[in-house]
Chains A and B, each alone.
Chain A
Amino acid sequence: MKEERLLTVLGMIDDTFVEELYRSEEERPSNPVSKRKIRVYFLVAAIILLLAACGVKAVAILEENWFPQYFSEKYRDDAEEMISENQRELLEQGLVPIGQSVTCNGYTLTLESALSDGYRSFLKFRLTAPEGVDLDGARYNLEGLSQITHADGKEIEFSMEGGDEYSLPDRKDPDNTVAILYESSVVPQTDSAEKMKLGTVWNITITNVYEYAIREDNAEQYYDLRKEISGEWSFHFTFDENTLLGQEQEILEDPIYCLGKRILWERSFPVIVKITSYKIRAFGATLRFEMPLLGVWEGVEHGPVFIFLKDGTVVEGHFRAGFNRGDYWENNYEFPIPITPEDISYVQFPGGLKVFLTDEEK
């Protein structure tokens, strides 16, 4: 394999490099001064200064309409008011106004605001190019790294399942700015892994911004990379008790049994799947089911779960990630719009079983 060869040939590099490595280890003091503490003090000071200087409230007023507009446009293209008052309130409650700006190589990247329900997060950036440089790409992608830590300094291990960027052209903005949404799923890798919670500090560094243009070829649309903007834009912010939308609602009081499919290659066989839990959050849901006894090459599929809202909207969760937790299987789904339990009429499980959330609906 190529990787193995590279690893092996690295063993043939000049001795001077290896000696440099070990010499520096020998010279290193036994207890290096922790830069982490210094960073924490710096972080606190920076946040205080930022709060005083920028006026977080002002940012909040500017930002509060952006996310409702985003979810509306993403879910229904032409409607005027697509989300309910409850959904709008939810978005306002979870909005973390940030307003941190960093300029690098003439490009200013501003982390304007963030939203998270603990599993799925939305970071809204604004990119501003130097005067005279238009940002008229069809899409912008961000590349970088995230580190999420609890208030006690413990780092959260998580899998960045995807990291979709969604750029909304702000029609009234100048030509040299564009809003970019960075969406990611922060799914705990193990059952005992730390989840995002109150006081979670998020450090994110963006190193590249890619601008794409649309090319049409035989009526098909393709995204072509047009420009790569390199730099280093670092941000940090905290989800506090007022902003992290961490509440989950269990829909099932007792396990339910649904018809599913055992899949073997291209063939499938009916099987009963025992669903033990279905928890709904603001931006997604987690479904747990017991894995039936399977053959070596077999997999199991259960049908889709639909959420019927009181206004007639039907929402289907988009599958994001599945985990084998040992005793049970866990699938994570994402909703195209934010959901509050108050808006739900009932949840329909595979096979048509309906679970109503309020007594009067039954």
Chain B
Amino acid sequence: MDDQQIIELYWNRSESAITETAARYGRFCYHIAYRILANREDSDECVNDTYFRVWEVIPPTRPNLFSAFLGKITRNLALNRYAFQTAEKRGGSQIPLALEELGDCIPGGRAPEQVAQDRELAEALNRFLRELSAENRKIFLQRYWNLMPVKDIAITYGISQSNVKMSLMRTRKRLRNFLEREGIWV
């Protein structure tokens, strides 16, 4: 079953949409989650959360490229889970739980100014990424969007690890200069 057929299943509210997604992209999503969480159970749960999130947003969304769409959702969910776990380690087990419970009674998500700042930073990142060559952009995003190890990036693009490291080092430096030039402080 191809991507368009799977998306149609979601639009038709057919529960086999999730089964088909899992069959075609389960392993793919798991890899993304595992790179962030480094834990089998957490990664499995994150992948399941991804399916439910996709179920919530299709329809009305109709993704252009289904794999990218799934990857983005998985990544964001895994990062949220990672942030929660990190906070848990920092503050003792009850604090994040209490915070999560209290979160139920706070409307919205992040503060509006935080959202605006994040959006501004994301726009700046978009402008920066457009300036990069396609090769450097892909290497940068494989590392920091997809969180792929340097070794795997080298294999993926058939280049040496030192070339990957070199490309990343230059792009990070360019990004720093770019953000300073734009007056954006992270």
Contacts and interface: CB of A to CB of B under 8 A. Distances in A.
Contacts of A24: 138
Contact of A13 (B64, B125, B160, B169): B125
Contacts of B75: 11
Contact of B83 (A4, A18, A147, A155): A4
A37 B86 CA distance: 43
Contacts, number: 102
A18 B145 contact: yes
Interface of A: 2, 4-15, 17-26, 28, 32-36, 39, 145-147, 155, 203, 205, 207
Interface string B162-178: 10011001100000000
Contact of A17 (B83, B141, B158): B141
B162 A7 contact: no
B144 A10 contact: yes
B83 A10 contact: no
Given A11-B75, A145-B162, A147-B161, 15 more contacts: A2-B186, A4-B83, A7-B79, A7-B144, A10-B141, A17-B145, A18-B141, A20-B137, A26-B67, A28-B156, A32-B155, A32-B158, A34-B158, A145-B169, A205-B162
Top 6 nearest A-B pairs by Cβ distance? A147-B162, A32-B158, A12-B122, A18-B68, A19-B65, A22-B68
Interface residues of B, number: 39
Contacts of A10: 125, 141, 144-145
Contacts of A39: 160
A36 B160 contact: yes
Given A10-B144, A21-B145, A15 B138 contact: no
A5 to B, nearest CB: 6
A207 B162 CA distance: 13
B180 interface: no
